[in-house]
Amino acid sequence: MEHKKINFEIEVYESIDQLTKEDAWLLNEAKNVTQIAYAPYSHFQVGAMALLTNGKTVAGSNQENASYPVGLCAERVLLSAASSLYPGVPVESIAISYHNDNGKSDRPITPCGICRQTLVEYETRLQHPIRLILGGMEGKIFIIPKAGMLLPLSFSGDDMK
């Protein structure tokens, strides 16, 4: 029997003031994008803003519907838009923020399982890590150097061969 340990490190910042100018801008844009989320059922608006390797930016917000909880997360909306608008262009960084009408928005949240799988697939397909900047409307911020770190034992196309 063999034991293996899987771990990773994240950067933790106390506030947005500690971020680089570019990271702070991206996170502020993600905060602004929460305003265009369509979340009448959960009242949990998520915004995401990506910086692509070509310097372009793309936004995404969560989109719910009456067949709740069926809907689209901000991260998947963003990746779909990015791959449609700029096919084959990798994502450098994604900032993700949220506004919770039912409570506080004062700590980082991480992508859900489906979004983690989608992020890993996107990283693998374009062979480029996606750096994540995670923060609420205030409070601490997490920076994760590669989205795939959130799903270390991911399912992939190789598993279907």
Among 124, 44, 56, CA closest to 93? 56
DSSP 105-159: --S-----HHHHHHHHHHHHHHT---EEEEE-SSS-EEEES-GGGG-TT---GGG
Kindly list the catalytic residues. Answer: 75
Residue 112, amino acid: C
Among 130, 55, 126, CA closest to 95? 130
- Alpha-carbon distance of 46 to 25, in angstroms, equals 17
User: Tokens 């992939």 identify what position?
Assistant: 156
